[in-house]
Amino acid sequence: MSRVKYYIYHLAVSKPAQYCFPMTEKLTLQSIFLETCRKWPERPALGSVGTPLRTYSEVLGDAAGWAEWFTSLGMKQGDRVAILAESRAEWGAVYFGAVTAGFAAVPILPDFAPAQVAHILEHSESSAAVVSERSTASMNKALEMSETLTSSFPIARMNDGLILSGASEGQTIQPSDRPDDVFHVTVQPGDMASLLYTSGTTGTSKGVMLSHNAIARNAVTGYEAGLQGNYENMVALSVLPLAHTYECTVGLVGMVAYGGQTHYLDGPPTPSRLLKALSIVRPSIMLTVPLLMEKIFRSRISGPIKSKPVLRKLYKLPPMRWLIHQLAGKKVKQLFGGRLRFYGIGGAPLPGDVERFLRDAKFPYSVGYGLTETAPLLAGGDPRLMSYRSTGTVLKDVTIRIHDPNAEGVGEIQALSPSVMLGYWNDEERTKAAFTEDGWFRTGDLGMFAKGKLFIKGRLKDVLLGSNGENIYPDEVETVLNGQNLVAESLAYIMDGRLVARILLDTEKISAEITKRGLVGTERINEWKNEMMDNIRKEANKHLGRNSRIHAFIEQTIPFEKTPSLKIKRFLYTGA
């Protein structure tokens, strides 16, 4: 008989009255946005790095202008508006213009292929679209590929408000000076606010329906857990796509809820662009994926250390490693501007050696856990309370149970929360499959609790069965592999009954080693690479359990294909 463990954990939070949200009531994005604009109209709100930010009063006028255009198209409450654009200040105005007027936003990642964009527009039955200048070509191609949409489909450009197609083509959308008249509809907490599409790791796209209350409460409880009432002088540097629910809920809605200011990068977070932005903005809050901090750690700390024999030996001694991390940590904190107090990490596992550095350096990091279907956060918390390898504590309003745990206490994470999705758009079958008979959301993730903290062990469908019948968690194996010098990324799976791993080598480091060693000729270089990979495998196996040791490596010569949230599409490489 299956055993089910229940674990409930709530955070006790004290917060100033001016930032207080009635947690006994349901919330809407409309009430949060209008209330913030009423409280702090002249506060800086949204803008690009290095430019004056639009105030909340100005963003309100911008949002109302967009809402007027949507209404002029004959759109009714609940109709969908697609947003295809990179992260920028105007994105937030379009989003709040739609949801505050009672429409639902359909965020689309700008790096989606035109065929995917066309599918989303058709499947969501969107009534209009707003694009950035950079995404206009992709939208045009999507319309050409669509079987139902025509060239008269209403599209406007968010950069300058120019209407590109539709009845008012050529006209420009202007900010409204009468937002009270525009935002007169009553929005219910249970109304759909956002319809998000994700390709996932299995290649099948689903439209996730999130309500106003789901997004609003998740944003509020996320900041309560992470900041513990310290909501003054909130300045964020945004580097993630707003079409991801993590950045949209926490980075946009959460910052707006507490009257913070958000600066957007004008382009991808390349090292030079990011360093310049950090020096200008000096953020107190940032949300990222592990890759950003991992690159900083590998290039500025572990890489230089491992290249010097004496330092490499000293680094293996815990006291010396701690001292090196302390000294390096001070420089990294200054790199981020010197006033960072919350550095949220989500979307993928954080490598163990990177987290060890962050802990030793007392860097204010917090690893969060959640899914698009949960708006997204289920767990996270105050950086001061993080435990090594955990994703923090369960958020207020969230109840998690571990279904059918094994002897180690590991089982599927199932959740009850106001932030759980309404379901999948026009997909009753998959909606039903996503919930248990008693109404709990099946995350499909494996986890366990220890000392009140949640630990993620991998995906339920990705668990590998070893030759002795024991479970192998590929995420744990890959974390060890990715921490090895010269390895960029890895993917562990079972082949012919044995555990193997595809590894993508760090080309820059490999080239440097080849030059340093004076290796000439394809045969000699391949001989060295094979020897080097075998040494990496042996070193990694020292840090893995007996049943998780790797039998062989397969070199991945081109980057792994990934989902928009930077997860490797396992099914493409394992045949699963």
Joined tokens for residue 519: 């290796």
Q: Which CATH number characterizes residue 480's domain?
A: 3.30.300.30
Domain limits for position 70: 27-217
Question: 341 in a domain, yes or no?
Answer: no
432 in a structural domain: no
Residues 6 or more apart whose CB falls under 8 angstroms from that of 566 comprise 289, 291, 347, 348
SS3 56: helix
Q: For 388-412, write each residue's pLDDT tens digit.
A: 999 999 999 999 999 999 988 999 9
Domain boundary among 217, 238, 256: 217
The CA distance from 482 to 94, in Å, is 39
Give the Cα separation of 273 and 49 in Å (integer). 10
Residue where one domain finishes, among candidates 217, 249, 280: 217
- Give the end of a domain, one of 185, 217, 249: 217
Task: Give, in order, the Cα–Cα distances in Å from 293 to each of 173, 312, 414.
Answer: 40, 21, 30
Report residue 203's pLDDT band, with 50, 70 and 90 as the boundaries.
very low
For 211, the 3-state DSSP assignment is strand
Confidence of residue 7 (pLDDT cuts 50, 70, 90): very low
Cβ-based neighbour number of residue 104 at 10 Å: 23
Confidence of residue 470 (pLDDT cuts 50, 70, 90): confident
Number of domains in the chain: 2
With a cut of 70, say whether residue 6 has pLDDT above it. Answer: no
How confident is the model over 290-297, as a mean pLDDT? 90
Those residues with Cβ within 8 angstroms of residue 474's Cβ, 6 or more apart along the chain or in another chain: 458, 462, 463, 464, 491, 492, 493
Assign 467 a pLDDT band (cuts: 50, 70, 90).
low
pLDDT digits (tens, 9 = 90+) for 530-560: 999 999 999 999 888 777 899 999 999 999 9
Q: What is the pLDDT of residue 23?
A: 53
Question: Coil, strand, or helix at residue 43?
Answer: coil
- Residue 418 CA to residue 86 CA, distance in Å, equals 29
Cβ-based neighbour number of residue 432 at 10 Å: 11
Enter the tokens of residue 407.
């002897």
Answer for the pair 576, 210: CB distance below 8 angstroms, yes or no: no
Let me know if residue 532 belongs to a domain.
yes
Residue 434 lies in a domain: no
Q: Is residue 400 part of a domain?
A: no
Q: So what's the pLDDT on residue 173?
A: 98
Residue 384 to residue 370: CA distance in whole angstroms: 20
Taking 80 as the threshold, does the pLDDT of residue 74 lie above it? yes
How sure is the predictor about 9, in pLDDT bands with cuts at 50, 70 and 90? very low
pLDDT for res 472: 85
- pLDDT tens digits, one per residue of 108-143: 999 888 988 999 999 999 999 999 999 999 999 999
What span, in angstroms and rounded, lies between the C-alpha atoms of 241 and 357?
27
* Long-range pairs of 118-122 with CB within 8 A, sequence gap ≥ 24: 118/142, 118/143, 118/145, 118/146, 118/149, 119/205, 120/82, 120/197, 120/205, 120/207, 121/82, 121/146, 121/149, 121/153, 122/146, 122/147, 122/148, 122/149
pLDDT category, 480, cuts 50, 70, 90?
Answer: confident
Each as own residue / partner, the long-range contacts of residues 1-7 (CB below 8 Å, 24 or more positions apart, any chain) are 2/403, 2/404, 3/404, 3/405, 4/401, 4/402, 4/403, 4/404, 5/401, 5/402, 5/405, 5/409, 5/411, 5/449, 6/399, 6/401, 7/394, 7/400, 7/401, 7/402, 7/449
With 80 as the cut, is the pLDDT of residue 465 above it?
no
pLDDT of residue 544: 82
pLDDT at 234 over 60: yes
264 in Cβ contact with 87 (< 8 Å): yes
Closest CA to 13 of 390, 381, 331, 275: 381
Residue 399 covered by a domain: no
How confident is the model at residue 100, as a pLDDT?
98
d(C-alpha 298, C-alpha 301), whole Å? 6
On the question of pLDDT at 336 being above 80, the answer is: yes
Which of 11-15, 186-190, 230-234 has the least mean pLDDT? 11-15
CA 91 to chain centre: 17
Span 78-115, pLDDT tens digits:
999 999 999 999 999 999 999 999 999 999 999 888 98
158 occurs within a structural domain: yes
Residue 347 lies inside a defined structural domain of this protein: no
Choice among 157-166, 389-398, 562-571 with the minimum mean pLDDT = 562-571
| Burial of 407: CB neighbours in 10 Å, binned 0-12, 13-18, 19+ | exposed
Question: For residues 412 and 442, is the Cβ–Cβ distance under 8 A?
Answer: yes
Please compute the mean of the pLDDT values over residues 272-297 and round it to a whole number.
94
CATH number at residue 127: 3.40.50.980
- 186, with CB counted inside 10 A (0-12, 13-18, 19+), is exposed
**3-state secondary structure at position 108:** strand
Distance of CA 467 to the CA centre of its chain: 35
Q: Which residue has the higher pLDDT, 25 or 288?
A: 288
Mean pLDDT of 423-447: 95
d(CA 114, CA 144): 9
Closest C-alpha to 91, from 287, 223, 251, 208: 251
Segment among 9-13, 26-30, 472-476, 525-529 with least mean pLDDT: 9-13
Q: Average model confidence (pLDDT) for the chain?
A: 91
